[in-house]
């Protein structure tokens, strides 16, 4: 039987799913967590997957070669939210941590930065307004100003001062600024490596850091005429327009992501 030709962008959803089904054994689905599998909340610790998400990810993992979550969250957090999933890989802290086959692997170059991040979190709690939520992640520190958007400038100035003082990198996001070690790792690099031997890959994202993942899919398509990448954005009022502009398809919410996958799984 003739192989289904790779769809061209822009494309129809039917074409994208048809190609994916024919290449299921070579396909990986990648998902961001916040804003994609879970609604964004004022308190990051309160975030939970949308009701239909865990079940549909488990089904998807049985239908394709691989399913992975690629998040700014630590692996420990992701495991606490997806404890029931047995066949889903977890990339935490933009790929500095990886949960695969029952083990956590941490990027060695990032480990020496743990004390600096601990000190930075304490400093942020002391020097920034009380309305700023300081999220310490062991290998990074996220400064959330969602409950007080007027503090955005204050948070960004403080973060840049600390980045220069300590030699850190900054990652902006939806009402958040994150300080990270100067280690070459981001979602784009995770996807570049993750699709190296794939014939098809989908990435679902909602924030600026996810555009690098979309770019990685495009780069692989540029050098491999057999590979197909599908970039899916999830709408939001903060970064939605920019992310959607880089995507093939935009879905309305994490609930819509679960519904979209459930409908797609009927094709397998």
Catalytic residues: 32
First CA to last CA across the chain, in angstroms?
Answer: 17
Around 67, how many Cα atoms within 13 Å sit in the side-chain half-sphere?
A: 21
Q: What strand order describes the sheet that includes 169-173?
A: 133-136, 141-144, 176-180, 169-173
Closest CA to 60 of 32, 35, 79, 86: 86
Q: Other C-beta atoms within 10 Å of 4: how many?
A: 14
**66 Cβ neighbours under 8 A, 6+ residues apart:** 27, 28, 29, 89, 194, 198
d(CA 174, CA 146): 8
Tabulate helix, strand, coil % of the chain (nearest 5): 45, 20, 35
Q: How many CB atoms are located within 10 Å of the residue 8 CB?
A: 8
């Amino acid at each position: 039987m003739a192989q289904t030709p790779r769809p061209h962008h822009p494309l129809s959803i039917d074409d994208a799913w048809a190609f994916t089904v024919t290449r299921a054994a070579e396909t990986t689905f990648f998902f961001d967590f916040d804003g994609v599998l879970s609604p964004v909340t004022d308190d990051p610790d309160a975030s939970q997957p949308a009701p239909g998400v865990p079940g549909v990810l488990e089904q998807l993992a049985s239908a394709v070669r691989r399913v992975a979550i690629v998040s700014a969250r630590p692996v420990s957090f992701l495991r606490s939210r997806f404890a029931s999933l047995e066949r889903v890989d977890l990339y935490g802290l933009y790929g500095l941590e990886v949960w695969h086959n029952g083990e956590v692997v941490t990027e060695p170059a990032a480990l020496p930065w743990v004390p600096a991040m601990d000190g930075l979190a304490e400093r942020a709690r002391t020097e920034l307004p009380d309305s700023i939520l300081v999220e310490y992640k062991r290998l990074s520190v996220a400064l959330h100003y969602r409950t007080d958007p007027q503090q955005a400038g204050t948070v960004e100035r403080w973060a840049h001062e600390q980045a220069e003082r300590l030699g850190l990198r900054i990652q902006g996001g939806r009402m958040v600024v994150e300080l990270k070690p100067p280690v070459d790792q981001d979602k784009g690099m995770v996807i570049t490596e993750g699709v190296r031997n794939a014939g098809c890959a989908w990435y679902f994202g909602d924030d600026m850091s996810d555009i690098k993942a979309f770019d990685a899919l495009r780069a692989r398509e540029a050098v491999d005429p057999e590979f197909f990448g599908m970039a899916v954005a999830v709408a939001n009022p903060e970064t939605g327009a920019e992310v959607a502009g880089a995507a093939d398809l935009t879905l309305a919410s994490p609930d819509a992501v679960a519904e979209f996958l459930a409908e797609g799984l009927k094709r397998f």
